[in-house]
Chains A and B, each alone.
Chain A
């Protein structure tokens, strides 16, 4: 359940961002995070952790969007670059096994939407 540790940081950062940008009374409506496919995150665990961790905060009841990004690799053998499917880190063109991973490790908070004030 490392999802809990990651979600803790997500919620903390989202709340801080909302308060700094939209004022101390701002309520969070939606949070979007980006997670590369190399991170073994179970989405249900993330959602569950999010619901628990936002309880009693300005983000209670808000929606968590998780955007997955594919693993991208570049082949040092033939110059091919593109999407690969773990667990096979092999060049689909020349079958070279030493491809370099250039995308799929990202893990960040991308956007926070706050509710408009009335």
Chain B
């Protein structure tokens, strides 16, 4: 017996993502999902954002395979940061994010930033109800990364190009990297920044403020 099914395999995840979108809408909150390789500088970006005064009020959901070190790093700066442990899985799924989100003090926030598990393949596959996936790429990783991980860069609504303070020490070809990003995704703005020098954060904060304003509009 042959049974035709046509059942979407992301269905259950999508349902939780949809609930998260409803909750975010109700609270007028934006949520962005940072995705990049381990060590590309995601937590460092959040640390600088926590120290600046010109950005939105935000809390962090830290995805990690097992330790709570990143959340502790952020809590020391006075940020509300919850650690989501995936227990081995290489990505965050919508249900876990939804439960963690509900426990945040949502009325005191403008924005929730999710730092996904360090990985450029798996997290790009899962919708967690975010307004935007943001790809994070450090200049130490090579200019061809956007071509090697097209799904991530294709899905991203913005790209953070981090650790630009290291450019003088590398043979990284910035123009080629930007061209590669453009060929995969012409629409996403690229924010070049250095957390070490706290440079380049202004335009990124403006973009986040805009995302927040959009989330609040009816």
Chain A residues with a Cβ under 8 A of chain B: 1-2, 4-6, 9-10, 13-14, 17-18, 21-22, 26, 33, 38-40, 86-90, 97-98, 101, 107-114, 116
A-B contact pairs, 27 of them (CB 8 A): A2-B122, A2-B125, A2-B126, A5-B91, A5-B93, A6-B125, A10-B9, A13-B5, A14-B5, A22-B1, A40-B121, A40-B125, A40-B149, A86-B184, A87-B180, A88-B184, A89-B150, A89-B186, A97-B182, A97-B183, A108-B9, A109-B5, A109-B6, A110-B5, A111-B4, A112-B5, A114-B3
The residues of B that contact A6 with a CB separation of less than 8 Å are 9, 125
Mark B141-184 against chain A: 1 for CB-CB distance below 8 A, else 0. Answer: 00000111111011000000000000000000000000010111
The residues of A that contact B187 with a CB separation of less than 8 Å are 98
Additional A-B contact list (16), CB under 8 Å, known A2-B126, A5-B89 = A1-B90, A2-B90, A2-B125, A10-B9, A17-B5, A21-B3, A40-B151, A86-B151, A86-B154, A87-B146, A88-B184, A101-B154, A107-B10, A108-B5, A111-B3, A113-B3
Total contacts A-B at CB 8 Å: 101
Within 8 A of A (CB), among B183-197: 183-187
The residues of B that contact A89 with a CB separation of less than 8 Å are 150, 154, 183-186
**Are B6 and A110 closer than 8 Å at their CB atoms?**
yes
Going nearest first, the 3 A-B pairs with the smallest beta carbon separation are A87-B150, A2-B122, A97-B186
**Are A2 and B121 closer than 8 Å at their CB atoms?**
yes
The residues of B that contact A22 with a CB separation of less than 8 Å are 1, 3
What is the interface of chain A mostly: helix, strand, loop, or mixed? mixed
- With A40-B121, A87-B147 known as contacts, the answer to whether A109 contacts B7 (CB < 8 A) is yes
The residues of B that contact A4 with a CB separation of less than 8 Å are 89
A90 vs B180: C-alpha distance in the bound complex, in angstroms? 11
Taking the closest CB of chain A, its distance from the CB of B125, in whole angstroms, is 5
Q: Is B213 an interface residue (CB 8 A)?
A: no
- With A87-B147, A87-B183, A87-B184 known as contacts, the answer to whether A9 contacts B12 (CB < 8 A) is yes
- With A5-B93, A6-B9 known as contacts, the answer to whether A38 contacts B151 (CB < 8 A) is yes
The residues of B that contact A109 with a CB separation of less than 8 Å are 5-7, 9
**Are A86 and B150 closer than 8 Å at their CB atoms?**
yes
Within 8 A of A (CB), among B1-48: 1-12
The residues of A that contact B154 with a CB separation of less than 8 Å are 38, 86, 89, 101
